[in-house]
Amino acid sequence: MEPNLNQAVQQVKELAQDNGLWTPGDVIVVAVSGGPDSVALLHILSHIAREAEAGLELVVAHVNHGFRPEESAVEADFVRQLTSSYDWPFELAEFDVPLYMKEHGMGGQEAARNLRYDFLFRVARKYGAGSVALAHHGDDQAETILMKLIRGSGLTGLGGMRMKRKEKNVELIRPLLRMYKTDLVRICEESGLRFVTDSSNLINKYTRNAIRLDVLPFLGQYNGQLVPSLNRMAIIAESEDDFMNVAAEEQMERLVSRDRSGNLNLSCSSLAGLHVALQRRLIKLILTYLPLNTEESDFAKVEAVRHGALQEHPTTWRIDLGGGSFCRREYDTLSFLAQQDAGNEGVFQCLVEVLPAVVPVPGTGRILHIRQLQRTRLPEAMKPLSKDEALFDADELSCPLTVRTRLPGDTLRVAGLGGSKKVKDIFIDDKVPPSSRDRIPLVVDAAGRILWIPGIRRSDAAWVRADTETVIAMSWEAEDGNAGLVMGGDGYS
């Protein structure tokens, strides 16, 4: 083998081993455009594939995008003949990208990429290939980093293209990412390999072309090693980005919970305890679980959520994240919801005419148990253990009872206050999140008196006294909890 080719083969083999690009016996789809980069890639991989210890099987895939009909047809025929010289299977796709752009309202680059990658994934499935090899090299990486930098990317963007990345259960691998264009052209020339030149690469109306043709040469005046420098930065940024991703995943597992509705919840005070870089990364990670219809979370959204969460005074607010998702703060809880609240779902109401009764309350994951019991012990043994329990003198209640959600103007006579208080104000005082208030049940008697807001407040009605004969016992329990009221003693039968 030629010296440069021999070095390239060895470099790619070492890179593949260090990064786990393939294992012996793998089938790899090689995307070949016909340019010097992809021709060199096919040549290098073919040398490696023929080695006994590698045993790789290659499949060559070529895409005619339909932008330059005559030129593209020549390129497709060239790649077909090149493939036959290596005796690998060949797959060709021909698309009308301009028509696809018009039908889907996309730009040319995005449309071409979508069609190209869909085709490559189909070829991989057809041949049982676990990976698709792409011919991106160090110069491409430098262009990518500058594009990301111009757009204001963070650490992830500055890491550039990854050596290996999984998409749709297929690994996209870039074995040439540590090599440069001049190396690949030299390999082609020394090996006597023909290649084609895409004339569209010389038109600087495309951003990537303008960066390659104009920006990099201009900046190169100030740093003769600009492209290698940008690649070194990408290597550093990629490893540090990986570190931050791991740290964010750890905090996600430790601090973020998912409720029954699928919403992701985070304590604002817990978020405040993290370094600002980790705050941003955690929020960004959470947003990836929502259908935002964007590849990357917008920095402005991340910062809006972060600043809102770090406000010193408890407050409630809502931020539209797009795609039907939003973030909501209620006191110390930050919630990320995949879709907007359905709005007022109507008043829940259940008439309780026969005791004992079990009343599941929609949207709460809890059940209200109501029983009628005969008193058999001293009143000291009959005390609720928490706000999730309440006792009433049955003879002082007007039955039947009703369990319902709140209505406008609801008031409750508060025990010890000597007067009434709006249910709305009680919720505010107890810091009940606004999103939960319309689901919390109220127990009301036939006279219209609100007797109890389970878990929050009891009214001053129907106290159990020394001469009480029959008690109405209520308990507010989780659906998977044990039924029945737990009391300070066994004073009920």
Annotated binding site for ATP: 33-38
Letter string b/e over residues 331-358, b meaning 16 or more CB atoms within 10 A of that residue's CB: ebbbbbbbeeeeeeeeebeeebeebebe
Residue 422, judged by CB atoms within 10 A of its CB (0-12, 13-18, 19+), counts as middle
C-beta pairs of 299-305 under 8 Å, 24+ apart in sequence: 299/152, 299/154, 305/334
Residue from 166, 188, 190, 163 nearest 177 by CA:
163
- Residue 92 CB-density burial (10 A; 0-12 exposed, 13-18 middle, 19+ buried): middle
Distances (CA, A) of 133 to 32, 106, 201, 249: 9, 26, 21, 29
- d(C-alpha 115, C-alpha 104), whole Å: 12
Full DSSP string of 228-259: HHHHHHHHHHHHHHHHHHHHHHHHHHHH-EE-
Helix (H) or strand (E) holding 328: strand 325-331
Alpha-carbon distance 62 to 196, whole Å?
A: 13
Cα gap 461→447, rounded to integer Å:
12
Helical (H) or strand (E) element with 216: helix 216-220
* Three-class secondary structure of residue 165 per DSSP: strand
Binding residues: 33-38
Which residue pairs from 199-207 have beta carbons closer than 8 angstroms and sit at least 24 positions apart in sequence?
199/68, 199/71, 200/67, 200/68, 201/35, 206/109, 207/147
Rounded CA separation 95/73 (Å): 12
Taking alpha carbons only, the member of 68, 71, 62 closest to residue 97 is: 68
Which residues, in sequence order, are bridge partners of residue 206? none
| Listed residue (131, 133, 151, 163) closest to 239, CA to CA | 163
